[in-house]
Amino acid sequence: MNDAAQQLPKDLASALAVLAQERARRVAAEAEATIAKAEAASAKALVSHSEALIARLKLEIEKVRRELYGSRSERKARLLEQMELQLEELEADAGEDELAAEIAASASIVRAFERKRPSRKPFPEHLPRERVVIAAPVSCPCCGSAKLSKLGEDVTETLEVIPRQWKVIQTVREKFSCRECEKITQAPAPFHVTPRGFAGPNLLAMILFEKFAQHQPLNRQSERYCHEGIDLSLSTLADQVGACAAALRPIHSLIEAHVLAAERLHGDDTTVPILAKGKTDTGSIWTYVRDDRPFGGQSPPAALYYASRDRRQEHPERHLKTYTGILQADAYGGYNPLFKADRDPAPLCQALCWAHSRRKFFVLADIATNAKRGGKAAPISPIALDAVKRIDRLFDIEREINGLAADQRLERRHQDSQPIVEELHGWLQTERAKLSRSSPVAEAIDYMLKRWVGFTSFLDDGRICLTNNAAERALRGFALGRKSWLFAGSDRGADRAAFMATLIMSAKLNDIGPAGLARRRSR
């Protein structure tokens, strides 16, 4: 340390010189890191573009082979549909990576990667044109002179859709030259969500909503648009989807932070097929919902989704690694590490779903379903029927206190719900002692008794809900959509579906979107 001190400059000028050298060295290192990042992003975009190009060429070759030599069997048609779905995901990947490379290159001297696209066809002449003329400047921004003369104009065409009425918006940017200083003045070009884009925001929103909310793959959308006289290929649509995913990432990050800042989350998952080599893997879509409306909360509701190729416990651990509140979920064992006392930063509070437990009894006591089975109907279990009636008393109380503050709910639960729960616990233990190990009712009773602490946590905290139905409702779209889109084409495709579902479902929970607009119009 003394040697280092002796090497320090003794005068101020030398010290400033050393400081300037160190600062220049640091700036150079940061510039090199920025360039390396931009080059890596460009390389990734090039790989994505190459993969999409190869997939597109393979698809075109298979279509030509089928047209010339192949049979028109259903199996061959389904294989072509699968190739189109794979191409859709690869094109979206390429569009997303290109925008990421452009953003990285903007902060460095590296030239941005630009995909080679086929020349875009002109918009159909039969579409109506709407001229939007940007107001001309009244004076020269260079010298302030008002002597401006028009040189010409540039027209930027944007394809837009207005409830199924297609039109091309022509944004006219007039050019002016200053008679004093010869400076040319022109308004800036209109903003497009995607780089070098041509699609308006309403059109992009419609494409994303139909794909990720209405479960219409892009190849079907392309066919429908073609019938309406608009030639938008699958490749073009997928390119726009990928670019939108990159452009919307800041909004997704804000929603993610908002959801994970909640005191209570509803968590659940559902299966989703993800394409693998020669097969599909059974992946999972995970959701975490923040919804304080049943408690009179003022925070806006939101839903967060993640995708994974399997259902291992490492996924919820990663999703909730910084979360320390209440987790409303089913009894899936993968959540158990989140409730351990030594968890860092703190254990989560477990709150199990009474709707899940009730469902196990209801299946054994469903008179209507058993009646439809005719002679094969199983006998109705009187114990299961009694359990359903007892649990329903708790749900009746919850409906009455819905919308009250947490402390008011807790007071009412201590007064009315706790005696019912204590009576139910004793009754379940008594009935379980009478049943054999193989009894279906015994399995339903054990499901509750073995997890009794998790089921009764709502009696100690007024913020806890009785059910996890908020998360189940958030996953309903994926359960319905699986029949339409068959599978996710890749891991990134599944991640993109989860990404878009976060935006769409959060908007839906806040009454924003087609359904919310329809309700407002009907009022």
pLDDT tens figures, 240-256: 888 888 889 999 999 99
Evaluate whether residue 6 is within a structural domain. Answer: no
Mean pLDDT score of the chain: 82
Is there a single domain that holds both residue 375 and residue 448?
yes
Is there a single domain that holds both residue 504 and residue 455?
no
- Ranked by mean pLDDT, the top range of 37-51, 205-219, 317-331, 427-441 is 317-331
Token pair recorded at residue 172: 């006219």
pLDDT score recorded for residue 5: 56
Is there a single domain that holds both residue 240 and residue 174?
yes
487: domain CATH number?
A: 3.30.420
Q: Is the pLDDT of residue 424 over 90?
A: yes
More confident residue, 298 or 390: 390
Dihedral sign for Cα atoms in the order 494, 500, 502, 508: negative
pLDDT score recorded for residue 136: 85
Beta pairing, strands 148-162 & 165-178: antiparallel
10 C-beta neighbours (distance < 10 Å), count: 7
Is there a single domain that holds both residue 138 and residue 225?
yes
Of 8-17, 27-36, 286-295, 395-404, the one with minimum mean pLDDT is 8-17
Is there a single domain that holds both residue 459 and residue 376?
yes
Of 32-36, 137-141, 164-168, 171-175, the one with minimum mean pLDDT is 32-36
More confident residue, 504 or 377: 504
CB burial of residue 295 (10 Å; 0-12, 13-18, 19+)? buried
pLDDT score recorded for residue 352: 93
The answer to whether the predicted template modeling score (pTM) of the entire model surpasses 0.75 is no
Evaluate whether residue 185 is within a structural domain. Answer: yes
Q: Is the pLDDT of residue 176 over 80?
A: yes
Q: Is the pLDDT of residue 374 over 70?
A: no
Of 308-317, 338-347, 388-397, 470-479, the one with minimum mean pLDDT is 470-479
Is there a single domain that holds both residue 437 and residue 492?
no
pLDDT score recorded for residue 449: 93
Is there a single domain that holds both residue 407 and residue 388?
yes
- pLDDT confidence bin for 283, thresholds 50/70/90: confident
Report how far apart, in Å, the C-alpha atoms of 446 and of each of 296, 432, 449, 450 are: 35, 8, 5, 6
More confident residue, 120 or 422: 422
Evaluate whether residue 212 is within a structural domain. Answer: yes
CB 93 within 8 A of CB 51: yes
Evaluate whether residue 7 is within a structural domain. Answer: no
| Domains: count for the chain | 4
pLDDT score recorded for residue 215: 84
485 C-beta neighbours (distance < 10 Å), count: 22
- Ranked by mean pLDDT, the top range of 89-93, 401-405, 500-504 is 500-504
Evaluate whether residue 122 is within a structural domain. Answer: no
Q: What is the mean pLDDT of residues 510-517?
A: 65
- pLDDT confidence bin for 487, thresholds 50/70/90: low
Q: Is the pLDDT of residue 114 over 70?
A: no
Domain boundary among the residues 465, 485, 501 is at: 465
Question: Domain residues for 62?
Answer: 17-106
More confident residue, 28 or 505: 505
Of 81-95, 221-235, 342-356, 492-506, the one with minimum mean pLDDT is 81-95
Q: What is the mean pLDDT of residues 471-478?
A: 87
pLDDT score recorded for residue 516: 43
pLDDT score recorded for residue 393: 92
Evaluate whether residue 427 is within a structural domain. Answer: yes
Report how far apart, in Å, the C-alpha atoms of 259 and of each of 205, 396, 452 are: 23, 29, 28
More confident residue, 352 or 102: 352
Is there a single domain that holds both residue 429 and residue 493?
no
Domain boundary among the residues 465, 486, 509 is at: 465
Evaluate whether residue 264 is within a structural domain. Answer: yes
Domain boundary among the residues 247, 265, 289 is at: 247
Task: Using a pLDDT cut of 90, give the percent of the chain over it.
Answer: 32
pLDDT score recorded for residue 499: 93
In 3D space, the residue among 271, 356, 338, 339 whose CA is nearest the CA of residue 308 turns out to be: 271
- pLDDT confidence bin for 519, thresholds 50/70/90: very low
Is there a single domain that holds both residue 140 and residue 238?
yes
Is there a single domain that holds both residue 427 and residue 321?
no
- pLDDT confidence bin for 124, thresholds 50/70/90: confident
Report how far apart, in Å, the C-alpha atoms of 33 and of each of 36, 40, 106, 108, 117 are: 5, 11, 14, 9, 30
Beta strands in 91-134 (DSSP E): 129-133
Q: Is the pLDDT of residue 69 over 70?
A: no
Q: Is the pLDDT of residue 474 over 80?
A: yes
pLDDT score recorded for residue 503: 93
How far is 83 from 54, CA to CA, in rounded Å?
Answer: 11
How far is 515 from 508, CA to CA, in rounded Å?
Answer: 8
Evaluate whether residue 123 is within a structural domain. Answer: no
CB 130 within 8 A of CB 156: no
Is there a single domain that holds both residue 224 and residue 259?
no
Is there a single domain that holds both residue 73 and residue 149?
no
